[in-house]
Amino acid sequence: MSRQYTTDATITWCPGCGNFGIKTAYGQAVDKLAGRGVPTERLVMTAGIGQHAKMFDYVTTSGFYSLHGRALATAQGIKIGNPELKVVSFVGDGDSLGEGIAHFVFAAKRNSDITVICHNNGVYALTTGQRAPTSPRGFKGPSTPHGNVEEPLNPLVVALESGATFVARGYSGKLEQLADLIVEGVLHEGFAYIDVLQPCVTFNNLFDHYNENTYDLEEPADSFGAALEVARETEKLATGIIYRRKAPSHEAALLGQRVPARDRPTKAARREQVAGLLKSMEIA
């Protein structure tokens, strides 16, 4: 990532962490977006709680540090307040598919015009490697010393079945492709979900596995059913845009051309409205 978007905060990710790749790719995407009509001033980020959320400390773009699992709720609020902004949410797999899964499902269902970048490492890394909703059966960690007995959630399938209109998968070891996916996700009008395979070198190091078992999907699937088939693949994992379709965004349907942040009543007008309301209550 260029120094232009990097803060002076000390980075506390482990050496070799997949988060470095996401941070670098995001910086490249910010540059590319500026060249495609989205200046940095229009970009806003939100983050939940976890190792992924440290992006908020390390990147200079504007944003809001949210609560655990609430990054998407915050992003939707920002977008409704000012639909002219491009809102990017950085979330973890535990953060968004555990605590925040209701927000995930409903943001996709209503096609909110936000971009979600999920740091999917299969563990709760900030709290020393407990199993997460995406941990595979048999995974051993502090909370499952004898092995996880549950099947993992498939975030791509959850996104598709919830109504997401842009679904992609990236890999923190493929920076150029990941940067392009972020660009396309931000430019997409509607809910864009980018699942990023992000190995945790300390608690779930899958770099070798992903290097050997990912392949580039040249074109998005030509139907919803075909996209589900790609999402459910387990032998080899596709990276690229898996599904994309056009549909009205939630903000367009809700607000039309109105921009609340710009078109709101003046302070004097709001006072008059409140005074009128109070007066009517007295009459009642």
Check if the beta carbon of residue 90 is closer than 8 Å to that of residue 52.
Answer: yes
Strand partners, 86: 43
Residues in the chain: 284
Q: What pLDDT score was predicted for residue 265?
A: 85
Q: What pLDDT score was predicted for residue 2?
A: 57
Q: What pLDDT score was predicted for residue 1?
A: 53
pLDDT digits (tens, 9 = 90+) for 241-263: 999 999 999 999 999 999 999 98
Angle in degrees, CA 65, 71, 75, rounded to 5: 95
55-87 burial, b at 16+ Cβ within 10 Å, e below that, comes to bbebbebebbbbebbbbbbbbbebbbeebebbb
**In angstroms, how far is the first alpha carbon of the chain from the final one?**
61
Specify the pTM: 0.93
Q: What pLDDT score was predicted for residue 6?
A: 87
pLDDT digits (tens, 9 = 90+) for 178-191: 999 999 999 999 99
For 213, phi and psi rounded to 5 degrees? Answer: -125, 20
Q: Which residues contact 222 (CB under 8 A, 6 or more apart)?
A: none
Instruction: Enumerate residue ranges in the chain where pLDDT < 70.
Output: 1-3, 283-284
* HEC profile of the chain: CCHHHECCCCCCCCCCCCHHHHHHHHHHHHHHHHCCCCCHHHEEEEECCCCHHHHHHHECCEEEECCCCCHHHHHHHHHHHCCCCEEEEEEEHHHHHHHCHHHHHHHHHCCCCCEEEEEECCEECCCCCEECCCCCCCCCECCECCCCCCCCCCHHHHHHHHCCCEEEEEECCCHHHHHHHHHHHHHCCCCEEEEEECCECCCECCHHHHHHHEEECCCCCCCHHHHHHHHCCCCCEEEEEEEECCCCCHHHHHHCCCCHHHHCCCHHHHHHHHHHHHHHHHHC
Q: What pLDDT score was predicted for residue 284?
A: 54
